[in-house]
């Protein structure tokens, strides 16, 4: 598919794309790129099949800027990434996409964007913005989930810590993704080959600043997840300490009682108090006194 960058992104023919009347956007499959790359005269030999796409980046060449996009699926951050490549010069930009990733992004641009001063730089800005336009609501959703889990932790109401770990993994993926997007925007802002007009460089700076703000939110949420985990672990430690305290108190109280039972369970013939009427009640009274005295002692020491 071919487009001309005019007041809107206007679909055109292959011939119009190479006419030079306007800057262009081309979306090609790897096979189409192999057959048509000489027509774009970018002086590069990019073979999509040999590209090792694992990150979002841009590289400056003598006659062009090439790079790749590796975009996480916002609905499943741990799933497969959407990978495609690009090449651009002052005349336009070519996307090499084996799927429909770029077409879907461009479709939203054609439906929602109309430019008073069209330019390649403005298109790239809008394209990059489409990549992150759903991220702020998603991060706000994560924050709401974490707030709910934090309240469960405070109320000791079986918080879903597995969900906290899942959100933390997603946020780490976001952080890496945003770092790469910032690097790409800064590489474009450098304008080493003078492909972009000086007055339009601000678009890349605007995008970089926007992603930086999203990155700050991600870092704050990562700190929030760590705080929730620490609070939950502290509460578990307190609960375990209380259990151990109760067990220790019970054990301490029954130690002398166990001694008495063991001693008087020997049943020697000449054992004191064995034949006394008051012997059995006396042992009971002594045991009760030991229990009461132990409880008073623990209360005074604030161990209970």
What single string gives the DSSP state of each residue in 156-221? TS---HHHHHHHHHHHHHHHHHHHHHHHHHHHHHH-TT--S-GGGTHHHHHHHHHHHHHHHHHHHH
Residue 37 belongs to a domain: yes
The DSSP string of 58-93 is EEE-SS-EEEEEEE-BTTBTTS--EEEEEEEETTEE
Residue 169 belongs to a domain: no
Each residue's pLDDT tens digit in the chain (304 positions)?
888 888 888 888 888 887 778 888 889 888 888 888 787 777 666 565 545 677 888 888 888 888 889 898 888 877 788 888 888 888 888 998 888 888 888 888 888 888 888 889 999 999 999 999 889 999 999 999 999 988 888 887 788 888 889 999 999 999 999 999 999 999 988 888 888 888 889 999 999 999 999 999 999 999 999 988 888 887 877 777 777 877 777 887 778 888 777 777 776 666 776 667 777 787 788 888 888 888 887 777 776 6
Q: Which two tokens stand for residue 30?
A: 């790897």
What pLDDT does 182 receive?
93
Domain final position from 89, 116, 143:
116
The domain tally of the chain equals 2
With residues binned 3-state (H G I as helix, E B as strand, rest as coil), the percentages for the chain, rounded to 5, are: 60, 15, 30
What pLDDT does 183 receive?
92
What pLDDT does 158 receive?
80
Residue 232 belongs to a domain: no
Strands 24-28 and 92-96: parallel
What pLDDT does 232 receive?
82
Place of tokens 């590489």: 187
Report which of 123, 132, 134 is spatially closest to residue 204, judged by C-alpha positions: 123
Residue 266 belongs to a domain: yes
What pLDDT does 141 receive?
94
Residue 19 belongs to a domain: yes
Overall pTM surpassing 0.95 (yes/no): no
What pLDDT does 34 receive?
81
Residue 141 belongs to a domain: no
Domain extent at residue 282: 240-300
What pLDDT does 220 receive?
94
Domain final position from 116, 135, 167:
116
Q: Domain holding 263: CATH number? A: 1.20.58.340
Residue 148 belongs to a domain: no
Place of tokens 């073979």: 47
Domain final position from 74, 97, 116:
116
Q: Domain holding 76: CATH number? A: 3.30.460.20
Residue 214 belongs to a domain: no
């Amino acid at each position: 598919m071919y487009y001309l960058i005019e007041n809107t992104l206007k679909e055109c023919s292959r011939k119009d794309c190479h006419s030079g009347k306007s800057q262009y956007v081309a979306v090609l499959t790897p096979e189409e790129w192999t057959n048509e790359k000489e027509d774009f005269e970018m002086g590069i030999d990019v073979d999509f099949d040999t590209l090792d796409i694992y990150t979002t980046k841009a590289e400056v060449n003598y006659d062009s800027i090439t790079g790749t996009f590796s975009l996480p699926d916002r609905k499943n951050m741990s799933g497969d990434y959407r990978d495609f490549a690009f090449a651009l010069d002052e005349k336009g930009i070519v996307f090499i996409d084996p799927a429909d990733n770029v077409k879907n992004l461009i479709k939203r641009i054609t439906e929602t964007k109309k430019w008073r001063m069209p330019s390649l730089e403005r298109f790239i800005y809008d394209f990059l913005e489409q990549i992150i336009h759903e991220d702020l609501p998603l991060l706000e959703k994560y924050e709401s989930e974490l707030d709910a889990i934090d309240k469960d932790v405070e109320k000791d109401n079986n918080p879903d810590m597995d969900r906290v770990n899942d959100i933390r993994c997603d946020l780490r993926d976001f952080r890496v993704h945003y770092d790469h997007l910032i690097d790409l925007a800064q590489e474009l802002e450098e304008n080493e080959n003078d492909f972009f007009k000086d007055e339009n460089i601000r678009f890349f700076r605007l995008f970089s600043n926007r992603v930086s703000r999203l990155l700050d939110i991600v870092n704050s949420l990562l700190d929030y997840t760590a705080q929730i985990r620490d609070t939950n672990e502290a509460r578990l430690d307190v609960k375990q300490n209380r259990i151990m305290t109760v067990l220790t108190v019970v054990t301490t109280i029954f130690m002398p009682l166990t001694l008495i039972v063991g001693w008087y369970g020997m049943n020697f013939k000449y054992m004191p108090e064995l034949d006394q009427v008051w012997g059995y009640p006396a042992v009971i009274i002594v045991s009760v006194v030991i229990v009461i005295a132990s409880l008073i002692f623990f209360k005074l020491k604030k161990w209970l």
